[in-house]
Amino acid sequence: MPDVLADFHFLRPWWLLALIPAVLAGLWWARRHGSGSHWENAIAPELLGVLLERRGVSRARRLPWLAAGALALAALGLAGPAWERLPQPVEQKQDALVIVFDLSLSMFAQDVAPSRLVRARQKIADILRLRDEGFTALVAYAGDAHAVVPLTDDTRTIENLLSALRPDMMPVLGSDLGEALEQAYTLFDNAGVSQGRILVVTDGVDRISDATERRNPRFPISFLGVGTAAGAEIPLDFVNQPGQVLRTQQGDPIRARLDADGIARIAEITYGRYRTLTLADSDIEHLLATPLPGEEETAEVERDFDTWADMGFWLALALLPLALAGFRRGALAVVPLLLMPAPADAGLWDDLWQRRDQQAFEALRDGEPAVAAALFDDGSDEPWRAAALYRSGEYAAAAEHYRSRDATADLYNLGNALAQQQAYADAIEAYDAVLYRDPDHEDARFNKALVEELLERQQQAENDQQARQDQGQQNPEDSTANPEGGSDDSGEANEQQGEEQQPSETAQSQEQQSEARSEDGEPSEELTASRDEKQDALEQWLRRVPDDPGGLLRRKFQYETNQRLRRGDYRSQDSEKIW
């Protein structure tokens, strides 16, 4: 309640001036009719009670005040009382940011505790938490560059993958900033973004031309420096050589240093800004406010796109009984209106104020996808209905909707719906269809790799289960052993005896299996429960997604590197520096 009172205000306060004529009109009317009728001046007071009807007089005296109250409520409603903000997605700031993360071996240096890599990942996580609007992408680079996540407003996805990024997972060693910037521009083009910011998180730039040759005022390149000028050696713990450091061919330890002044000059040339990593948020706040064309230098990253909710309509509803009371016969209509209970069908009441698609969008925004799916129409709103079904867990129904459409996005969503149903082979076919149409569809390629791994695990689990079943049908005991503990001279006889006993033991195993079945030939409850338990355990295991997606990212990077090698996309490096 204190917050409501603190935020209470009027959107159009000038309408409050209308309260003055409303009060004056009520006073004037009351004064005019308050003295009574002209008969009171001509008839003796003792006869007034017999000749005049007092009920009509009292109603006439109340009427001015009812009219004045109605005018006052109308003035308050027109003034626009407000105490709550409502988000306006249409007006949200659509700025785009691509974070370019340096994963060269020098990021293992520990001149900042605990290491440059850990501090850089923490700072990127802080950036993601600050960005509550707009679109963000992540590119990782060493000797080549790879798009980890394309431009998206789901920063949690980026944050979940961030902890898996390490320099030793990169297929090519080195530090090729030029290739990383090319990846950033490709992400902007794919998203149809005409301008945006690029933030490079790095501890050094080997070739200045990598950045200066790609400068663009519509895409300023800012830099966040990680490390110190004194630098530190690069430990080789990542290759199981604790205590060892990276050395030159001559055997001298390599010391990675941060050239803050040099990177700052590059940032100035590329229309960006530079800051060295700190514990506070002032460094990233300064970098995220890098001006774009058409923006002022002092512009800040703010959220000014929420609007105050005009609550004046509630006063308009309060005027309805007063308006009905102004009619002689309409006054009786107020009673059922006030006594009418809340409608049993909330949709009927909502239909008076919003269309079904508007109600569905509101339900989807409020986290009620099942309600939204029921409200969306199968015709014009079919894509939204499919999305609502998917979010509510109705993957089979969502897949049917996506199958009826032929857009690339629908094929991609079809693959996701099939993957959720564990129809991994069909999901891979859907992703292949997407990649056939759009070879650069990073989400489809990433999901396909994930589903292929799940399919491989599923097949391996089925093979293991089949092997255990086959092994269970064989004799688990060693028939060649001498049960009497006799000497080795009877080995041949025991072997023959084992061969003779094998059919009987197999028959015994079959008899035990037959006893596990009921009289009607169906499996017993114990056997069925055991199988169901194993199946549930298998399905639960298959539903698990690895907490560490590093293996998938590693394979994704390696696959992209191999593709580029086949196409001959790599440009010659001027230096053999691998860190």
Q: What is the pLDDT of residue 389?
A: 86
Given a contact cutoff of 8 angstroms between Cβ atoms, the answer to whether 175 and 577 are in contact is yes
CA distance 285 to 117: 20
Task: Give the angle 218-222-223 at the CA atoms, nearest 5°.
Answer: 160
Span 342-386, pLDDT tens digits: 443 445 555 556 677 777 777 776 778 788 788 776 665 677 788
What pTM did the predictor assign? 0.49
For residue 306 the two structure tokens come to 């929420």
Q: What is the pLDDT of residue 94?
A: 59
What residue ranges of the chain have pLDDT lower than 50? 55-57, 89-92, 296-305, 329-346, 477-523, 541-542, 544-548, 572, 574
- 3-class DSSP state of 197: strand
Long-range CB contacts (within 8 A, 24+) of 539-546: 539/422, 541/457, 541/461, 542/422, 542/454, 542/457, 542/458, 542/461, 543/422, 545/450
**Residue 266 burial class via C-beta count within 10 angstroms: exposed 0-12, middle 13-18, buried 19 and up:** buried
CA distance 175 to 105: 9
Residue 163: partners with Cβ closer than 8 Å, 6 or more residues away: 121, 548
* Domains (range + CATH), the chain: 1-91+309-340 (no CATH), 93-288 (3.40.50.410)
Q: What is the pLDDT of residue 341?
A: 47
CA distance 200 to 189: 19
Q: What is the pLDDT of residue 488?
A: 42
Q: What is the pLDDT of residue 343?
A: 43
Residue type, 497: Q
Across the chain, which distance is largest between two alpha carbons, in Å? 149
Q: What is the pLDDT of residue 90?
A: 44
- Across-strand partners of 517? 523
Nearest partner of 104 among 239, 199, 202, judged by Cα:
202
**With the C-alpha atoms ordered 57, 62, 67, 68, is the resulting torsion angle positive or negative?**
positive
Nearest partner of 62 among 35, 38, 26, judged by Cα:
26
